[in-house]
C-alpha cells in the first residue's frame, strides 16, 4: 500500500462538524479473477478494515468487503472540542497496516 492522502480543514471551531477525506492506493484484488496465464484464481487481497482515531478514541470505523473499488476513498464527518491528532488506519488481508496522521487545530 502507498502513502495515504488525507484532507482536513486547517482549523475548526470548537464543536464544529467537519469533513475528513482520505484516499489510499491499493489494487483490492477480490479473489474472483483468474490468472490469464495459469488459469488459477488470484488470491483475495483487499483492505478489510478502516479505522479513524482522534486522540486515541475511535471516531469512525468500517469493515470493508471485496465489492469496494481499488484505491478506496473514505470520507466521514466528525467534531472536535480540542486540538489533537487524527490517526487513520487501513488494514489488509495479510494484517499489514498503513497509518496516516493529521493534526486538527481547534480555535
Q: What is the CATH number of the domain that holds 65?
A: 2.60.40.10
Q: Which three cell numbers stand for residue 44?
A: 483475495
Please tell me the distance from the alpha carbon of residue 47 to that of residue 92, in angstroms, as a whole number: 4
pLDDT tens string, the chain, 107 residues long: the values are 678 999 999 999 999 999 999 999 988 888 889 999 999 999 989 999 999 999 999 999 999 988 888 899 999 999 999 999 999 999 999 999 999 999 999 99
Please tell me the distance from the alpha carbon of residue 10 to that of residue 67, in angstroms, as a whole number: 33
Q: Which three cell numbers stand for residue 52?
A: 479513524
The range of the structural domain enclosing residue 18 comes to 5-104
Q: How many domains does the chain have?
A: 1
Assessment of whether the complete model's pTM goes beyond 0.75: yes
Amino acid at each position: 500500500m502507498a502513502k495515504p492522502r488525507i484532507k482536513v480543514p486547517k482549523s475548526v471551531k470548537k464543536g464544529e462538524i467537519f469533513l475528513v477525506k482520505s484516499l489510499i492506493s491499493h489494487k483490492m484484488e477480490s479473489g474472483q479473477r483468474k490468472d490469464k496465464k495459469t488459469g488459477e484464481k488470484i488470491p483475495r487481497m483487499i483492505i478489510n478494515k478502516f479505522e479513524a482515531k482522534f486522540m486515541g478514541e475511535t471516531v469512525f470505523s468500517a469493515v470493508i468487503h471485496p465489492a469496494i473499488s481499488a484505491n478506496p476513498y473514505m470520507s466521514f464527518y466528525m467534531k472536535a472540542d480540542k486540538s489533537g491528532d487524527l490517526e487513520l488506519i487501513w488494514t489488509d488481508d495479510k494484517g499489514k497496516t498503513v497509518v496516516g496522521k493529521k493534526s486538527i487545530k481547534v480555535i
